[in-house]
């Protein structure tokens, strides 16, 4: 059901489901303090990443149980895994989805985030048929907010101290795009 064919290709990237062999590359991303700075996670151990990979590698389609797509982004024509991109269902009844993106710091600042996240929005609206896709970030996470704006998402809310993360109250920004907005521009 609603399962795209993989890999998905962009100008410079290839996106495909996660595999057990991605353990080292994923640990190289999620084991870092800087990557987790604005995420509600602490840096993860190799074992924690292995366990987690087991779950996320099954996120390859919308199924009656839920889920969505969670894909590894690789530089096209190489085995270099540079990031983790996802679009998943948050409400079946209301056809709502959410977008997530994480890049290894060595590959930030090159436009790869925008390239991969744009494909995930396309999948979310055109294959998974979401009515609205939202994304949230810590209000201090400027690269994330900028990326959402570059994707054409609207800032819908600035929630004051809506979360208590890593010992402090943090503001959260909510961005979203509607299917009608996507189709008007693509
Ligand atoms: C959020 C995140 C993915 C954004 O990454 P990013 O590299 O800033 O975003 P992009 O890949 O779209 O790259 C945009 C930058 O590349 C530059 N760039 C270089 N070549 C480019 C190209 N060919 N096309 C587009 N942009 C290009 C842009 O000018 C821009 O730089 P600027 O921000 O200095 O203006 C990244 O900061 C990250 O992974 N953070 C840690 C995890 C995290 O917080 N995730 C979000 C949770 S809410």
**In whole angstroms, what is the distance from residue 159 CA to residue 115 CA?**
28
**In whole angstroms, what is the distance from residue 91 CA to residue 15 CA?**
25
Nearest CA to ligand 1 atom 15: 109
pLDDT at 2: 65
Using pLDDT thresholds of 50, 70 and 90, give the confidence band for residue 65: low
| Ligand 1: centre distance to CA 143 (Å) | 6
How does pLDDT run across 24-64, given as a tens digit for each residue?
Answer: 999 999 999 999 999 988 999 999 999 999 999 999 988 76
How does pLDDT run across 119-154, given as a tens digit for each residue?
Answer: 999 999 999 999 999 999 999 999 999 999 999 999
Domains of the chain in start order, with CATH, are 8-136 (3.40.630.30)
Residue 1 predicted with pLDDT over 90: no
How does pLDDT run across 110-125, given as a tens digit for each residue?
Answer: 999 999 999 999 999 9
Is 102 near ligand 1, meaning CB less than 6 Å away? Answer: yes
Among candidate residues 92, 97, 112, the one with its CA nearest the CA of residue 175: 97
Q: If you count DSSP H runs as helices and E runs as strands, how many of each does the chain have, helices first?
A: 6, 9
Which of 3 and 159 is assigned the larger pLDDT? 159
pLDDT at 67: 84
């Amino acid at each position: 059901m609603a399962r795209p064919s993989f890999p998905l290709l962009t100008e410079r990237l290839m996106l495909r489901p996660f595999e057990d062999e991605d353990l080292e590359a994923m640990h190289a991303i999620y084991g870092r303090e800087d990557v987790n700075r604005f995420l509600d996670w602490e840096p993860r151990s190799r074992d924690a990443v292995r366990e987690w990979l087991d779950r996320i590698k099954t996120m390859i389609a919308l199924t009656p149980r839920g889920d969505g797509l969670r894909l590894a982004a690789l530089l096209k024509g190489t085995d270099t895994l540079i990031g983790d991109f996802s679009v998943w269902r948050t409400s079946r009844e209301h056809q709502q989805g959410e977008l997530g993106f994480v890049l290894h710091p060595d590959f930030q600042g090159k436009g790869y985030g925008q390239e991969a996240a744009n494909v995930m929005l396309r999948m979310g609206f055109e294959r998974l048929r979401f009515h609205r896709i939202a994304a949230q970030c810590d209000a201090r996470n400027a690269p994330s907010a900028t990326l959402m704006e570059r994707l054409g998402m609207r800032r819908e809310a600035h929630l004051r101290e809506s979360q208590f993360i890593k010992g402090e109250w943090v503001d959260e920004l909510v961005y979203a795009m509607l299917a009608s907005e996507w189709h008007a521009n693509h």
